[in-house]
Amino acid sequence: MTNPTRSRRRFTVQQKEEAIDHGQPSPGDQAALTSDERQELARLRKENRELRREKDFFKLAAAHFAKEQLSPKGFA
The answer to whether position 16 is within a domain reads no
User: What average pLDDT does the chain have?
Assistant: 80
The answer to whether position 71 is within a domain reads yes
The answer to whether position 51 is within a domain reads yes
The answer to whether position 9 is within a domain reads no
The answer to whether position 67 is within a domain reads yes
CA atoms within 13 A on the CB side of 57: 6
The answer to whether position 7 is within a domain reads no
pTM flag (> 0.85)? no
Residue 40, pLDDT above cutoff 80: yes
The answer to whether position 8 is within a domain reads no
The answer to whether position 66 is within a domain reads yes
**Residue range of the domain that includes 44:** 35-76
In the chain, the percentage of residues whose pLDDT exceeds 90 is 39
Give the integer Cα–Cα distance in Å for 61 and 42: 29
Contacts for 20 with CB less than 8 Å, ≥ 6 apart:
26
Residue 4, pLDDT above cutoff 80: no
Contacts 24+ apart (CB under 8 A), 69-74: none
Q: How many domains does the chain have?
A: 1
